[in-house]
């Protein structure tokens, strides 16, 4: 199984010109953060949930944590600046690369507020809202059946896309 960091590196490799994954600072919910960092973590969250809905298995082993602006992988959110500068390639199986390419393409034009809203639609995020600015570890495998229903149309779109 992959790690969240490996999937993040793969997504970063798809944006070599850094058009999406930037260091532009934005403010949302009284939090200031890099828009690209939030975007990367929302793609990880969406990819994890859609993969679970599609296969019944997790895409990556790294836990997601409920933060105010949606779910994040701590090893990614805390190392974003360093990850932007790493150029080492990541070994990803072909079928997984195709899946990740489709997730990336489907979210390419979404603005950060749309991605945050998608993250907030996760029933597991809703069950684990941050308390006193501390985050809580999420367990998406508790919601496999809900994800199958929630992402059914999205999966149909992905299945119809070219990689």
- 91-120 confidence digits (pLDDT tens): 999 999 999 999 999 999 999 999 999 999
Q: Strand 136-137 relative to strand 65-67: parallel, antiparallel, unpaired?
A: antiparallel
Instruction: Give CA separation, 76 vs 36, 45, 91, in Å.
Output: 11, 12, 17
**Can you say whether residue 58 is alpha, beta or left, with left for phi > 0 and alpha for psi between -120 and 50 degrees?**
beta
pLDDT at site 43: 98
Provide the pLDDT for residue 128. 86
Tens of pLDDT, residues 115-161: 999 999 999 999 987 766 667 899 999 999 999 999 999 999 999 99
pLDDT tens digits, residue range 42-101?
999 999 999 999 999 999 999 999 998 999 999 999 999 999 999 888 999 999 999 999
Using CA atoms, how far apart are residues 140 and 110, in angstroms rounded to an integer? 23
pLDDT for 129: 73
**Cα 1 from Cα 8, distance rounded (Å):** 14
> What does DSSP assign to residue 90?
-
């Amino acid at each position: 199984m992959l790690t969240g960091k490996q999937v993040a590196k793969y997504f970063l490799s798809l944006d070599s010109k850094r058009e999406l994954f930037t260091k532009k600072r934005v403010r949302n919910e009284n939090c200031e953060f890099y828009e690209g960092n939030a975007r990367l973590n929302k793609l990880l969250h969406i990819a994890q949930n859609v993969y679970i809905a599609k296969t019944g298995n997790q895409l990556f082993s790294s836990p997601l944590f409920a933060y105010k602006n949606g779910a994040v992988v701590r090893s990614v959110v805390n190392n974003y600046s360093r990850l932007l500068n790493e150029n080492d390639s990541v070994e990803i199986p072909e079928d997984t690369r195709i899946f990740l390419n489709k997730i990336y393409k489907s979210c390419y034009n979404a603005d950060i507020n749309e991605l945050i809203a998608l993250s907030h639609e996760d029933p597991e995020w809703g069950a684990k809202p941050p308390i006193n600015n501390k985050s809580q570890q999420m367990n998406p495998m508790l919601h496999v059946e809900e994800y199958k229903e929630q992402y059914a149309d999205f999966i149909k779109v992905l299945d119809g896309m070219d990689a």
